[in-house]
Amino acid sequence: MRTLSIANGELWLHAEGTASRQIESPFAKELIERAAQSRRNTGWKHAPREGQSGVIPSNSLWGRRSGADAGPMQVRFLHACRAADDDSLYYVLSVGDTTGVFRRHLAEDREVRLFHRAGWECEGFAFNADDRRLFIASRNTDGTAHVEVYDEDGNRTGVITDGDCVDASPSLVPGRGKTVVYQSSGVARHAQGGHLVAIGHACINMLDYGSGRLDTLLDDRHHDFVGPRMDTQGRLFAIRRPADKPVHQRAGTALSDTLLMPFRLLKAVFGYLNFFSMVYGKEPLRSSGGPRTPELDQDLGQLWLHGRMIELSKVKADPQHGGYLVPRNWELVRIDRPGDAPEVLAQHVAGFDIDRRGNVVWTNGYDIFTLIDGARCGVARQQQVASVAVL
């Protein structure tokens, strides 16, 4: 089994008996080189001014960086899936503010750009090898997201879902060429302004876009079901996690916020004074434990995963995560027949996929496993694995 993984924004190919291989994008390299050349040509316009007045430099005060010091454009792979054969794949790539869909031919080491747009957000996609169509969940300007259909060359041919909802993670139903399963969440809007104020729990829908028939397979207001997949036997797989409670139902959270308020205020005041101590005295107020190093102060950032924001700096310390990327209650479940109770196959599941024989590959965010006939086998270990796919 060959497996694709997106770890820390990088795309990797894993195959049994060989070393993992990183897949890089020529398009991303070209954009980065253009941006670097532009900075070199116009860097004088953004050079820091001499004789800058004031005790605190404006760049330090407001956190701004000069054009010469600006870092390179951020490159992140967002989604990947198998294409028409074993040696080709599709992926969604973000470079700076630009996001695009690409096809990669591994044997030829050739990349084909289908399309790219500025400010575009993709919520998952799948490829139908039978009729050579791509199904892409695209975010709209009003906060909704719907599943669109493209041909294999990136030409948009239509939209198959609609409504005031967020549709994401489409996947094909094996043996049914015009049927997809996907997750869907309703949205709540402000009564007067009409803007989006909340997103409901995620249920699983199955759509036959040939006949227009829509069935809801899983719906539980206490849980989200995300990233659905079906195998050749008609069994449904998905990640189950507790749904976010509305604000007015979070009594425990409100109580803890009230109790922790004095400590948070003291922390904020200390941080404010520590900033001025660093500016004027070049020394921090906290000196115990040795000098501070950049590694200790680095911001590990955030990861947007299945509609939830993961605070990477809190993963290791949070007992619910247990050292994994997602909490224990993110479970991979399987439903053999409609109406059956979900069977839990694994916990701490950040992403998964199913091959054509019904074997499962999944990740807890740091390890990638295969699940074949109930036996678990390790594939690779990486950092911040957001998704996996079978090639």
Summarize pLDDT for 223-256 with one digit per residue, the tens.
999 999 999 999 999 999 999 865 545 455 566 6
Domain 3-38+71-248+321-390 falls under CATH 3.40.1350.10: no
Amino acid identity at 99 = T
What pLDDT score was predicted for residue 297? 40
Q: Which of 134-148, 233-247, 257-271, 329-343 has the lowest mean pLDDT?
A: 257-271
Q: Which two tokens stand for residue 172?
A: 């094909």
- Arithmetic mean of pLDDT, 345-364: 94
Q: Which of 248-262, 306-320, 371-385 has the lowest mean pLDDT?
A: 248-262
User: What is each CA distance from 197 to 123, 187, 190, in whole angstroms?
Assistant: 19, 8, 6
What pLDDT score was predicted for residue 182? 98
What pLDDT score was predicted for residue 299? 45
Q: Which of 65-69, 82-86, 303-307 has the lowest mean pLDDT?
A: 65-69
pLDDT at 50 over 80: no
Q: Which of 279-283, 322-326, 347-351 has the lowest mean pLDDT?
A: 279-283
Q: Which of 3-12, 142-151, 174-183 has the lowest mean pLDDT?
A: 174-183
Amino acid identity at 305 = L
pLDDT at 277 over 80: no
For residues 157 and 150, what is the distance between their CA atoms, to the nearest angstrom? 5
For residues 201 and 245, what is the distance between their CA atoms, to the nearest angstrom? 9
- Arithmetic mean of pLDDT, 124-130: 93
CB 352 within 8 A of CB 344: no
- The percentage of residues in the chain with a pLDDT greater than 70, rounded to a whole number, is 84
pTM of the predicted protein model: 0.81
- The percentage of residues in the chain with a pLDDT greater than 90, rounded to a whole number, is 56
pLDDT at 20 over 60: yes
What pLDDT score was predicted for residue 293? 41
CB 5 within 8 A of CB 382: yes
Provide Rg for the chain, Cα atoms.
24
- What integer best gives the mean pLDDT of the chain? 85
Q: Which of 34-43, 125-134, 213-222, 284-293 has the lowest mean pLDDT?
A: 284-293
For residues 176 and 24, what is the distance between their CA atoms, to the nearest angstrom? 34
Q: 225 CB contacts (<8 Å, ≥6 apart)?
A: 183, 202, 203, 204, 218, 238, 239, 240, 333
**Alpha-carbon dihedral 367, 371, 375, 378, rounded to 10 degrees:** -20
The residues of the chain that CATH labels 2.120.10.30 are 3-38+71-248+321-390
What pLDDT score was predicted for residue 256? 65
